[in-house]
Amino acid sequence: MEDDIPELIAKTKAFRRAEAVLEERRHALATEIGTAFLGGVRQSEIVRITGYTREHIRRIVRERMGQLEREAEARGEPWEF
């Protein structure tokens, strides 16, 4: 049984690394979705490409808009959509 521990540790570490990569890519995709929508890409097109629901796209876009607003405030600039 103790022979299984090194393999369990290795698999757990590999899984955690994969989770971290997935989170980075999920964030990058969400940023791109928000940027595309704010740049004029239709929501239906984003839904078609990503397979996400319209509601999920709305949540992502709202978060992206909030992020852009916070960045503008940090620079002391107004932000409008």
Note the pLDDT tens digit of each residue in 19-61: 999 999 999 999 999 999 999 999 999 999 999 999 999 999 9
**81: in domain:** no
**20: in domain:** yes
What total of structural domains would you count in the chain?
1
pTM of the predicted structure, to 2 decimals: 0.77
| pLDDT-based confidence at residue 81 (cuts at 50, 70, 90) | low
**14: in domain:** yes
Q: How many of the other CB atoms lie within 10 Å of CB of 22?
A: 10
Residue 23: give the domain boundaries: 4-75
**56: in domain:** yes
pLDDT at 29: 97
| pLDDT-based confidence at residue 7 (cuts at 50, 70, 90) | very high
Instruction: Please report, for residues 10, 12, 18, 20, the alpha-carbon distance to residue 6 in angstroms, rounded to integers and kept in the order given.
Output: 6, 10, 18, 21
